[in-house]
Amino acid sequence: MTTARKSNLLLSHLSPKSHLAAFLLILLGISLTLLPLSAQQPPRPQRKGDKTAGPSVPTTSGEVARGKYIVEQVAMCPQCHTPRNADGTLDHAHELEGAAEFFQPPHPDQNWPLKAPRIGGDPPANDQDMIKLLTTGIWTDGKTLRLPMMPFRMSEADAKAVLAYLKSVKQQH
C-alpha cells in the first residue's frame, strides 16, 4: 500500500473540521520547528556609535602588554591612526586618536579614505565587533574595510589582546 493511500485512509474518517484542525496542528508544528532558525539570523549592522550589541571582554595586564606589542610592532597601527607632527614624526601625545591618511594610493581612487579613525581609548565599535574585525576583516556593516586598512586575520587571543591595549590607551585632550 502506498504512503498516499495510507494517509487517505487515516484521514478519511475525519470530518472537515477535523481536517482543518489537523492542518493547523501540522502548520503549528512546522512553525515551531522553523522558529529557532529565524531567531538565529545575524544581527542588524551596527550603527556608528552603537556599542550596546554585546558585553565587554574582560582583560588582564598580560593581554594589554601583548596587545601593545602587536599594535606597535606587528600591525603598526600608529602609522595610520596617530596624527603626525609638522616634521612627519608620529605625535605620541595623540596616540591612536585618528589622523589624516598619510598613505596615498598609487593611482587615483575615489574609495580611498581621507582619515584613519580613532581606535585608542574608546574603539569605534563594541568588543565583539572589534574582535570580529580583527579576526575576519569584516566590519559592522558586513563589508571588508577599505584600503589601506589591512584585512587582518588575527587569532581570537591576539584580537582580544589588541582590543585590551586599544582600550587602555589614554586620550590626551
**How many domains are contained in the chain?**
1
CA distance 151 to 148: 9
CA distance 38 to 55: 23
Instruction: Give residue-wise pLDDT tens across range 19-47.
Output: 566 655 565 555 555 444 433 333 344 45
pTM over 0.85: no
Q: Is residue 128 part of a domain?
A: yes
Q: Is residue 33 part of a domain?
A: no
The mean pLDDT value for 70-95 works out to 94
Residue 43 confidence (pLDDT): 39
Residue 29 confidence (pLDDT): 55
- From the number of C-beta atoms within 10 Å of its C-beta (0-12, 13-18, 19+), residue 161 rates as buried
- From the number of C-beta atoms within 10 Å of its C-beta (0-12, 13-18, 19+), residue 106 rates as exposed
61-69 and 156-168 helices, crossing angle to 10°: 100
CATH of the domain at 121: 1.10.760.10
Residue 22 confidence (pLDDT): 60
Domain span including residue 141: 61-104+113-168
Residue 4 confidence (pLDDT): 52
The mean pLDDT value for 2-19 works out to 55
CA distance 61 to 167: 12
